[in-house]
Amino acid sequence: MSSLKEVRTRIDSVQSTRQITSAMKMVAASKLRRAQNAILGMRPYAQKLNEIITNLSHDLEGSGEGTWSDDRGDHKILLIPVTSNRGLCGAFNINVVKAAVELIGNKYREQYKNGNLHIYNIGKKGADTLKAWGYNIQEVNSEILDNLNFENTVAIAEQLMKDFQDKKYDKIIIIYNEFKNAAVQILREQQYLPVTSQETEEEKAETGVQANYIFEPDKEQILAAIVPKSIKVQLYKALLDSMAAEHGARMTAMHQATENADEMLKDLRLSYNKARQAAITKEILEIVGGAEALRG
């Protein structure tokens, strides 16, 4: 059995750790509230834009905006894993990294071997892990997560759009965690460019009839305005989703860590009381033994 001093030292250590995890849980909860409000406010707008693009997707071909829906195959790929800058958020980061590695190994192995697959990592933690696993990272952007807003996201989106338009990449894929609630994040692999309809087969069956639009102003002006806007909004939505999911994952992880610390403290205090009782019993026996020896 451990000595009283050892057990007391462990109790103090666990109590200190518990204070940290409890504080981190409260901070994450506060940040989650803001991030959740942001993504819940953005989703209806992003979904409506995507719905419009889906309904107009057949009009993209032959228009100036057909560039964004031009399927040029899988020759040159840009992979964008979205992780966090900080850890202590459970499996949030590693799930994205594993999904990226699995996608490279299963679908784009040849492109990676030939140097035709580039990785542009948003978030420091994912980049560090991929580098440690031997993958080449062409670019890392961690600053965007420290000051996430639409203006900063537009700068990234415009560069990605330019690279696609200049045929530097044939396909751009984003891997991120979608926020569902504080305890649940859904891993998503979204084809960012070229633009494709994200409507499911069930949704297509429900829609049934193709909408017939009267364009005002003309179709070209509408497509020229709405398609680039939608592309930028979709990236911003993915980053907002990831941010909210990160805070939810960290809050859940810190809550679990705090509960584990409570259980450990309970066991350590029981061990401490047992050790203390054993020490007192030993001292009493020594006193009684000494008294008996003097009496004899």
Instruction: Kindly list the catalytic residues.
Output: 89
- Measured CA to CA, the distance from residue 29 to residue 182 in angstroms comes to 9
Q: What is the DSSP string of the chain?
A: ---HHHHHHHHHHHHHHHHHHHHHHHHHHHHHHHHHHHHHHHHHHHHHHHHHHHHHHHHHTTSGGGGGG----SSSEEEEEB--SS--STTHHHHHHHHHHHHHHHTSHHHHHTT-EEEEEESHHHHHHHHHTT---SEEE-HHHHT--HHHHHHHHHHHHHHHHTTS-SEEEEEEEEEEETTEEEEEEEEEES------HHHHHHH-SPP-PPPSS-HHHHHHHHHHHHHHHHHHHHHHHHHHHHHHHHHHHHHHHHHHHHHHHHHHHHHHHHHHHHHHHHHHHHHHHHHHHHH-
Token pair for 156: 């990234």
